[in-house]
Amino acid sequence: MKYFAGIDSGSTTTKIIIVDEAGTIMASEIVLSGSNLRESANSAFENIEKRHGIRRDQVEGFVPTGYGRFLLGIDSKPISEITCCARGSVALLPSARTIIDVGGQDTKVIRIDPKGTVRQFSMNDKCAAGTGKFIERIAVSLGLELEQMVKLSLESSTKISISNTCAVFAETEVISRISGGEDLGSIVRGLHYSLASRVGTQLARLGLEKDIFMCGGGALNAALVKEMSEVISAEIARPEGLDCRLVAALGAALIARGGREPVA
């Protein structure tokens, strides 16, 4: 059997997906990236061999993508995560035309055609306030787990506007509001709304076309997806049966396979 691998080397996690000749997903792995991206990729491959019995030397084609795609030491042409994200998204949702990818380092909005070819894209500026790190950073300062932040936001019937657009100053504002006795749930929902609004601005610049597909680590946050849907007044689809963080790796694997349509 022939195998093909997509490796998405991100700033937070390294993701690998392996597909067969038919495009069926045979194995996947997510590990923390750490400071040595090449070691992280090797660790992910070792885990795949242990859990699925697929050795690295059995993989006939590789496509590296993501933040660290040039640093993995793989003798294969790196492909942009925008291209790979588009390819993976249309494989999972053929009707997708707009993709929202909220990651730890950046947020991408991508417009694609029916074949998954990128038509336009937009990336946020480098401030953490426009990425998933925004929520994570404030969760740490509040001593809360991300799951607690999501629960508080979803259960809140009101939201308090967070006026600062800088992650550092927003953190200070949140602490000040809590010290002033304002409701924690409303503050947390306001944080999710703030991030959703920033992404909504990106969408407005690019132009919104349905169907809308959301992936990346941010898509695991149900509170963010809810606020995002309200901001853009549209339903947002997410991957079914696949971790949201693996979409770009899937696209890379399918590109390595040769561009044929996947069966599953």
Using one digit for the tens of pLDDT, what is the confidence trace for 33-66? 988 999 999 999 999 999 999 999 999 999 999 9
In angstroms, the CA 212 to CA 95 distance is 9
Q: Are 247 and 102 in contact (CB under 8 A)?
A: no
Q: How many Cβ atoms from other residues are within 10 Å of residue 40's Cβ? A: 22
1-93+240-264 and 95-236: identical CATH topology: yes
Instruction: For residue 27, give the nearest of 19, 36, 35 by alpha carbon.
Output: 19
Residue boundaries of the structural domains of the chain? 1-93+240-264, 95-236
Per-residue confidence (pLDDT) for residue 259, from 0 to 100: 56
What are 145-187's pLDDT values in tens digits? Answer: 999 999 999 999 999 888 666 666 777 888 888 888 889 999 9
Q: Can you state the percent helix, strand and coil of the chain, rounding each to 5?
A: 45, 20, 35
Q: How far apart are CA 138 and CA 171, in angstroms?
A: 6
Q: Average pLDDT for residues 89-107, to the nearest whole number?
A: 92
Neighbours of 163 (CB within 10 A): 10
DSSP assignment of 115-179 equals: T--EEEEEE--S-GGGSTHHHHHHHHHHT--HHHHHHHHHH-S--------SHHHHHHHHHHHHH
pLDDT at 245: 96
For domain 95-236, give the CATH number. Answer: 3.30.420.40
Which CATH number among 3.30.70.1520, 3.30.420.40, 1.20.1510.10, 3.40.1190.20 corresponds to the domain 1-93+240-264?
A: 3.30.420.40
* Residue reference for tokens 């599953």: 264
Q: What is the pLDDT of residue 167?
A: 62
